[in-house]
Amino acid sequence: AQAAAGTPVTVYYELARPIAYNRKVDITAFDGRTTVTGADAVDVLEGRVLRVADCLPFEIVRSNRNLALNPYFEINQRGLNTYNTTGYCVDGWHLWSTTNVGTVKPTYPGIDIIADENQQVVIEQKIENIEHFIGYPYTFSILITRITGHFTLQLTTVSEVRITNPGLYYLTAIIPEGSTVQNTMFRLFTLGKTNLHCAGIKLEKGTEQTLARKIGDQWVLNDPPPDPALELLKCQRYFLKTMISRVFCMPVNINGQCALIVPLKLPIAMRLNKPVIEAIEIVDWIHHPNGYYDQNIAIEIATVNGDGNVEKDGNIGLTLALQTPLQNYTDGEFCCIASLKITLSADL
Instruction: Report pLDDT digits (tens) over 210-244.
Output: 999 998 889 999 988 889 999 999 999 999 999 99
**Section 120-126 average pLDDT:** 95
Better-predicted residue by pLDDT, 32 or 317: 317
Q: Is the pLDDT of residue 39 over 60?
A: no
Position 195 scores a pLDDT of 97
Q: Is the pLDDT of residue 28 over 90?
A: no
**Section 16-38 average pLDDT:** 43
- Among 13-22, 71-80, 180-189, 291-300, which stretch is predicted with the lowest mean pLDDT? 13-22
Amino acid letter for position 286: I
Q: Can you give the pTM of this predicted structure? A: 0.79
Position 1 scores a pLDDT of 53
Position 113 scores a pLDDT of 97
Position 159 scores a pLDDT of 73
pLDDT tens, residue by residue, 272-297: 988 999 999 999 899 988 778 898 89
Q: Is the pLDDT of residue 264 over 60?
A: yes
Average pLDDT value over all residues in the chain: 84
**Section 24-48 average pLDDT:** 44
HEC-encoded secondary structure of the chain: CCCCCCCCEEEECCCCCCCCCCCEEEEECCCCCEEEECCCCEEECCCCEEEEECCCCCCCCCCCCCCCCCCCCCCCCCCCCCECCCEECCCCCEEECCCEECEEEECCCCEEEEECCCEECEEEEECCCHHHCCCCEEEEEEEEEEEECCEEEEECCCEEEEECCCEEEEEEEECCCCCCCCCCEEEEEECCCEEEEEEEEEEEECCCCCCEEEECCEEEECCCCCCHHHHHHHHHCCEEEEEEEEEEEEEEEECCEEEEEEEEECCCCCCCCCCEEEEEEEEEEEECCCCCEEECCCEEEEEECCCCEHHHHCEEEEEEEECCCCCCCCCCCCEEEEEEEEEEECCC
Position 56 scores a pLDDT of 46
Q: For residue 262, what are the CA distances in angstroms to 252, 259, 268, 336?
A: 11, 10, 17, 10
Q: Is the pLDDT of residue 30 over 70?
A: no
Q: Given pLDDT bands bounded at 50, 70 and 90, which one contains residue 4?
A: low
Dihedral sign of CA atoms 220, 173, 271, 183 in order: negative
pLDDT tens, residue by residue, 176-190: 998 888 888 899 999
Q: Is the pLDDT of residue 300 over 90?
A: yes
Q: Is the pLDDT of residue 14 over 60?
A: no
Q: Given pLDDT bands bounded at 50, 70 and 90, which one contains residue 23?
A: very low
